[in-house]
């Protein structure tokens, strides 16, 4: 029986998964059990100390025709958790025997779903900062898109999501793939890629140098036919190549310095902007990181990846454990951030924010709703925020009577419905501090000029 069949027919009894391809000497183990509406997970190193967590599920769409009982909601969520572990390279075991084998080699015509390529570190550490201050780095433009992978084996190129999925989640079981959705990218890649090659990149909608993130989200979240229609009526997606992992059978991402891979990208001949080569700058342009941040803010770019051009990523270039390694000594993100003040409200029963389902959080705050006032003084919902809150703050503030508060929140970008966006949300919002010196009436929605 396949994993998919086992997952579909699972009734909640204890299942055990192990990740053999972990970096530790002992395999990682993860177990899950569902009893009524309570999900219990246990994890740790096999034969070592283990941690336990419980989560209580509630009814979904209560009172509606598509209502799901707490018990059904719990089992469905646990099935999704098991699927995620499977995609991370965990395999199910019964009485010490594996029911499946985790892939550990690359087939260019059929990439394994537990294959995962590197990501830059989220912030600059001491090592890469020292290199930047000495002028020994490159600043690679970070595009505001969605990470995808293009592979070519013996046949035509194939498009994969970063999670190594060949198609949209809602189209699994159909013949439609990302190739059908983005045929212009497949055609362009077929002109430059030799066999046994993999390009890493970002799907973007490029509007004269500005990345329309809402547009690329729409093209990937909608179904294929709708996505094709939108691309025909508006602007088709492009693929921004920020690295080459394999080329003509050669493993470059683990064995070759970054600069040689960048040079290879720029040696390719592109007939249009369907494929966009990595854009990078050296320290003669940006002598210090702050100079790069200033340009990113001015151009409304997402930021940069700071690169050691001589860096060789070794075994951190890719793995078969479903989660990316981060070669922090050689590459790290450098992104401008913004701050603003918002009205914070937490009252989940009234629709403001979310309540945690985890027993360890005492079913307190999961996320807090953020608002600002428009020119008429009316509350405008912005988004929810959960990042940045300490356990002590969650424990202290998990009472609707403690709200509203004024919170300073940091973010990397924001949308505005008045500018044609679908939402007013912040990108990567993070709680910074409570503004006790400011009143809720002072949290005004400042929209950009049209």
**Mean pLDDT along residues 205-232:** 92
Q: Does 430 fall in a domain?
A: yes
Per-residue pLDDT tens digits for 316-347? 999 988 888 999 999 999 988 888 999 999 99
C-alpha 349/C-alpha 353 separation (Å) is: 9
- For the cut 90, the answer to whether the pLDDT of residue 27 exceeds it is no
**Angle of helix 224-233 versus helix 213-221 axis, rounded to 10:** 140
The model carries a pTM of 0.76
- What is the rounded distance in angstroms from the CA atom of residue 363 to the CA atom of residue 132? 44
Decide if pLDDT at 271 tops 90: no
Same domain, 398 and 276: no
Residue 188 lies in a domain: yes
Question: Can you give the CATH number for the domain in which 74 is found?
Answer: 2.20.140.10
Say which range, 42-46, 118-122, 374-378, has the weakest mean pLDDT: 374-378
Co-location of 77 and 50 in the same domain:
yes
CB 232 within 8 A of CB 179: no
Cβ atoms of residues 203 and 112 within 8 Å: no
Residues 328 and 345 in one domain: no
Residue 24: pLDDT over 70 = no
Query: CA triplet 343, 346, 351: central angle to 5 degrees?
Result: 105
CA 403 to chain CA mean position, Å: 31
- Does residue 199 share a domain with residue 142? yes
223 and 264 both lie in a single domain: yes
Residue 302: closest CA among 133, 138, 146, 119: 146
Task: Look at residue 361 and tell me whether its pLDDT is greater than 70.
Answer: no
Structural domain boundaries, residue 350: 338-442
Query: Residues 358, 244: one domain?
Result: no
What is the longest distance spanned by two Cα atoms in the chain? 65
What share of the chain in percent tops pLDDT 90? 70
Same domain, 320 and 393: no
- Nearest CA-CA partner of 116 in 127, 125, 129, 103: 103
Task: Choose one of 98, 124, 147: the last residue of a domain.
Answer: 98
Rounded to an integer, the average pLDDT of 39-51 is 92
Q: Which residues contact 173 (CB under 8 A, 6 or more apart)?
A: none
Q: Distance between CA 370 and CA 379 in Å, rounded?
A: 10
Residue 316 CA to residue 265 CA, distance in Å, equals 21
CATH number (domain holding residue 364): 2.40.50.140
Please report where in the chains the tokens 């900062």 appear, as a residue.
129
Same domain (yes/no): 316, 343: no
Q: Are residues 361 and 322 in the same domain?
A: no
Whether 304 and 157 map to the same domain: the answer is yes
> Looking at 296, 314, 334, which one is the last position of a domain?
334
Number of domains observed in the structure of the chain:
3
Cα–Cα distance for residue pair 326/119, rounded to 1 Å: 5
* Cβ atoms of 447 and 420 closer than 8 Å: no
Q: Smallest Cα–Cα separation from 386: which of 343, 431, 432?
A: 431
| Residue 201 covered by a domain | yes
Note whether residue 449 is domain-resident.
Answer: no
Considering 288, 309, 334, which residue would you say is the last residue of a domain? 334
User: Side-chain half-sphere of 35: how many Cα atoms within 13 Å?
Assistant: 4
pLDDT per residue as tens digits for the range 62-94: 888 888 999 999 999 999 999 989 988 899 999
201 and 235 inside one domain: yes
Residue 150 inside a domain? The answer is yes
- Here the CATH number for the domain that contains residue 251 is 3.30.470.30
296 belongs to a structural domain = yes
Residue 388 falls within a domain, yes or no?
Answer: yes
Do 185 and 169 sit in the same domain of this protein? yes
169 found inside a domain: yes
At 450, the pLDDT band (50, 70, 90 cuts) reads: low
């Amino acid at each position: 029986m396949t994993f998919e069949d086992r997952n579909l027919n699972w009734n909640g009894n204890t299942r055990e998964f192990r990740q053999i391809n972990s970096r530790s000497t002992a395999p990682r183990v993860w177990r899950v059990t569902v009893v009524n509406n309570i999900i219990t997970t246990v994890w740790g190193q096999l034969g070592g100390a283990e941690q336990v967590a419980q989560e209580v599920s509630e009814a979904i769409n209560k009172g509606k025709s598509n209502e799901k009982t707490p018990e059904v909601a719990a089992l469905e969520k646990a099935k999704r958790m098991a699927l995620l572990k499977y995609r991370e390279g965990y395999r199910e075991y019964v009485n010490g025997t594996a029911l499946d084998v985790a892939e550990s080699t690359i087939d260019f015509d059929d990439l394994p779903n537990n294959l995962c390529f590197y990501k830059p570190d989220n912030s600059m550490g001491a090592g890469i900062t020292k290199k930047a201050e000495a002028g020994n780095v490159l600043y690679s433009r970070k595009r505001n898109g969605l990470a995808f992978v293009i592979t070519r084996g013996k046949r035509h190129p194939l498009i994969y999501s970063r999670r190594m999925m060949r198609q949209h989640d809602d189209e699994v079981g159909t013949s439609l793939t990302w190739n059908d959705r983005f045929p212009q990218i497949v055609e362009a890649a077929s002109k430059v890629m030799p066999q046994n090659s993999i390009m890493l990149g970002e799907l973007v909608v490029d509007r004269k140098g500005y990345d329309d993130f809402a547009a690329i989200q729409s093209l990937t979240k909608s179904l294929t036919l709708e996505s094709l229609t939108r691309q025909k009526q508006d602007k088709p997606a492009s693929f921004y190549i920020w690295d080459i992992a394999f080329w003509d059978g050669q493993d470059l991402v683990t064995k070759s310095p970054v600069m040689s891979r960048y040079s290879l990208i720029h040696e390719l001949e592109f007939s249009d902007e369907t494929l966009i080569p990595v854009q990078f700058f050296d320290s003669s342009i940006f002598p210090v990181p702050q100079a790069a941040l200033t340009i990113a803010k001015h151009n409304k770019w997402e930021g940069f990846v700071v690169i050691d051009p001589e860096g060789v990523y070794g075994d951190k270039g890719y793995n078969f454990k479903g989660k990316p390694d981060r070669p922090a000594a050689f590459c790290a993100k450098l992104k401008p951030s913004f701050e603003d003040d918002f009205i914070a409200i937490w009252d989940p029963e009234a629709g403001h924010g979310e309540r945690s389902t985890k027993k360890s959080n005492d079913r307190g705050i999961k996320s807090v709703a953020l608002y600002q006032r428009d020119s008429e003084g009316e509350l405008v919902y912005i988004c929810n925020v959960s990042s940045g809150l300490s356990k002590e703050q969650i424990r202290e503030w998990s009472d609707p009577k403690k709200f509203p508060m004024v919170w300073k929140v940091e973010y990397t970008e924001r949308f505005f419905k008045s500018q044609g966006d679908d939402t007013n949300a912040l990108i990567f919002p993070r709680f910074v501090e409570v503004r006790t010196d400011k009143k809720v009436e002072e949290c005004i929605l400042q929209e950009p000029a049209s």
